[in-house]
């Protein structure tokens, strides 16, 4: 989340559940949730952006900040303590005041503070208990701006509260190519990754989180080999996720060893510019990552959205009206769908990328107007 102070010219301050400095990966240092409560002043805007965070819990967020072994231990403790008590402990761990980590209300701050939401998702809300749903929509109803990134989340919110004001717009990551054209992105990528991309020649990027990978391991190996053989492309394995249950490299590293000479792999230390440059330079992206798909398309690269138990990616592709050409694809169909995607023209890809960028730009202008309106 981000805080803007509007009374004087001010650089936005980033906040997370805890203080962190991930600048080694290209991110900005952030302050903590407990800092946020004390920092916010009259006239400030608290902006929550990105992720399926309209339907998130303290317990799950706690897991994402733990090393793998510690996260597994905390999951076992949850079985003993029960969901309600373990949620309370995780909330206490981060000094949380609100029931859900990313559902903030102006009531939790000093008078004159506004709360806004942008590029959010929340499809799991449909499975929450009615009391939890009511608590969330009551807080959201007090927000000054709400933008979600796909139709399903908007539909759920409107069903829960027909008066809630919610916009639907493509994820703001579609604007990455506006801020960093491919040529400039290349200057920000590390020398090692630039060399790796150059040496790979024409390649496809593959990514998946370990839960999907472990469930489809033999088929993924077969399909990636078949796609590489039939297309002539090298396979570049690109880890994107770095948190518990989404730590891509724990699956991609051993996959690369099994694929052998037809595959290369971005280092686990690759930063956001490295990953974005690899995706922008690829002929095709295949993966479970929503932001991987968005990054590929905004640079005119076709993609294969992998069908998994999490409908987030499929929901977004349908909302962008791209599912006819880029259907949610099961593992056994990767090679065939990859060849079909590679046949799409550059003008078709560029046209759709610009269509979605225009919608994302309009949403950001609207957000800016609401922020500046005071």
Identify the CATH number of the domain in which residue 318 sits. Answer: 3.40.50.2000
Instruction: Mark whether 154 and 33 lie in a shared domain.
Output: yes
Can you give the pLDDT at residue 18? 87
Best CA proximity match to 60, nearest among 365, 310, 329, 346: 310
pLDDT at 282 over 70: yes
Can you give the pLDDT at residue 21? 85
Return the percentage of the chain with pLDDT > 90, whole number: 81
Any long-range contacts for 266-270 (C-beta under 8 Å, 24+ apart)?
A: 266/193, 266/196, 266/236, 266/237, 266/238, 266/239, 267/192, 267/193, 268/239, 269/24, 269/25, 270/190, 270/193, 270/238, 270/239
Per-residue pLDDT of 71-91, as tens digits, reads 889 989 898 899 999 999 999
pLDDT at 164 over 50: yes
How many Å apart are CA 306 and CA 288, to the nearest integer?
Answer: 5
Instruction: Mark whether 163 and 239 lie in a shared domain.
Output: no
pLDDT at 4 over 50: no
Beta-strand ranges (E) seen in 108-159 are 114-120, 145-148
Instruction: Mark whether 203 and 227 lie in a shared domain.
Output: yes
Q: Give how many domains the chain has, as a whole number.
A: 2
Q: How are beta strands 2-5 and 44-49 bridged, if at all?
A: antiparallel
Q: Are 284 and 303 in contact (CB under 8 A)?
A: yes
Q: What is the pTM of this model?
A: 0.93
Averaged confidence pLDDT in the chain: 93
Where is mean pLDDT largest: 30-39, 49-58, 77-86, 285-294? 285-294
Can you give the pLDDT at residue 5? 44
Q: Is the dihedral of CA 310, 139, 163, 361 positive or negative?
A: negative
pLDDT at 161 over 90: yes
Range of the domain at 148: 2-174+360-372
26 phi-psi bin (left φ>0, alpha ψ -120 to 50, beta other): left
Can you give the pLDDT at residue 29? 85
Instruction: Mark whether 185 and 158 lie in a shared domain.
Output: no
Can you give the pLDDT at residue 2? 54
Q: Are 75 and 59 in contact (CB under 8 A)?
A: no
Of the pLDDT bands very low, low, confident and very high (cuts 50, 70, 90), residue 10 is: low
Instruction: Mark whether 170 and 190 lie in a shared domain.
Output: no
Best CA proximity match to 132, nearest among 156, 114, 108: 156
Phi–psi pair at 15, nearest 5 degrees: -130, 150
Per-residue pLDDT of 99-119, as tens digits, reads 999 999 999 898 999 999 999
Q: Are 46 and 3 in contact (CB under 8 A)?
A: yes
Stated as kind and residue range, the H or E segment containing 153 is helix 151-160
Instruction: Mark whether 43 and 104 lie in a shared domain.
Output: yes
pLDDT at 11 over 80: no
Best CA proximity match to 270, nearest among 202, 208, 194: 194
Return the percentage of the chain with pLDDT > 70, whole number: 97
Can you give the pLDDT at residue 8? 39
Beta bridge partners of 30: 20
How many Å apart are CA 98 and CA 132, to the nearest integer?
Answer: 12
Instruction: Mark whether 339 and 216 lie in a shared domain.
Output: yes
Other CB atoms within a 10 A radius of the CB of residue 136 amount to 22
Q: Is the dihedral of CA 328, 205, 360, 138 positive or negative?
A: positive
Instruction: Mark whether 364 and 324 lie in a shared domain.
Output: no
pLDDT at 22 over 90: no
Instruction: Mark whether 186 and 333 lie in a shared domain.
Output: yes
Q: Are 152 and 315 in contact (CB under 8 A)?
A: yes
Instruction: Mark whether 322 and 211 lie in a shared domain.
Output: yes
The lowest-confidence range among 10-19, 51-60, 252-261, 341-350 is 10-19
Instruction: Mark whether 147 and 241 lie in a shared domain.
Output: no
Best CA proximity match to 359, nearest among 278, 289, 294, 286: 294
Can you give the pLDDT at residue 95? 92
How many Å apart are CA 335 and CA 171, to the nearest integer?
Answer: 28
SS3 of 18, please? coil
Instruction: Mark whether 204 and 313 lie in a shared domain.
Output: yes
How many Å apart are CA 213 and CA 221, to the nearest integer?
Answer: 10
């Amino acid at each position: 989340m981000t805080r803007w102070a509007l009374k004087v010219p001010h650089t936005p301050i980033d906040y997370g559940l805890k203080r962190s400095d991930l600048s080694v990966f290209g991110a900005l240092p952030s302050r903590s949730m407990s800092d946020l409560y004390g920092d916010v002043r009259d006239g400030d805007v608290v902006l929550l952006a990105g992720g399926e965070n309209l339907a998130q819990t303290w317990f799950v967020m706690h897991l994402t900040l733990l090393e793998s072994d510690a996260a597994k231990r905390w999951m076992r403790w949850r079985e003993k303590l029960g969901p309600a008590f373990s949620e309370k402990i995780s909330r206490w761990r981060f000094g949380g005041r609100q029931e859900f980590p990313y559902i903030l209300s102006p009531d939790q701050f000093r008078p004159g503070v506004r709360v806004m939401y942008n590029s959010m998702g929340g499809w799991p809300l449909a499975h929450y208990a009615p009391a939890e749903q009511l608590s969330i929509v009551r807080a959201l109803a007090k927000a000054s701006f709400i933008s979600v990134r796909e139709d399903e989340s908007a539909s759920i919110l409107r069903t829960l509260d027909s008066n809630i004001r919610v916009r639907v717009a493509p994820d703001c990551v579609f604007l990455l190519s506006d801020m960093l054209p491919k040529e400039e992105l290349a200057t920000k990528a590390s020398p090692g990754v630039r060399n790796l991309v150059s040496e790979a020649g024409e390649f496809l990027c593959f990514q998946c989180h370990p839960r999907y990978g472990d469930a489809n391991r033999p088929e993924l190996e077969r399909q990636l080999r078949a796609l590489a053989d039939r297309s002539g492309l090298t396979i570049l394995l690109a880890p994107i996720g770095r948190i518990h249950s989404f730590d891509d490299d724990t699956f991609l590293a051993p996959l690369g060893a099994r694929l052998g000479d037809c595959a290369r792999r971005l280092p686990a230390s690759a930063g956001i510019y490295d990953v974005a440059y690899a995706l922008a330079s690829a002929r095709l992206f295949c993966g479970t990552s929503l932001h991987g798909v968005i990054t590929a398309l905004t640079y005119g690269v076709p993609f294969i959205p992998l069908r998994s138990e999490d409908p987030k990616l499929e929901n977004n592709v349908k909302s962008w009206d791209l599912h006819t050409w880029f259907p949610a694809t099961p593992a056994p169909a990767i090679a065939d769908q990859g060849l079909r995607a590679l046949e799409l023209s550059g003008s078709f890809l560029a046209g759709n990328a610009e269509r979605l960028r225009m919608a994302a730009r309009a949403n950001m202008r609207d957000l800016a107007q609401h922020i500046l309106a005071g």
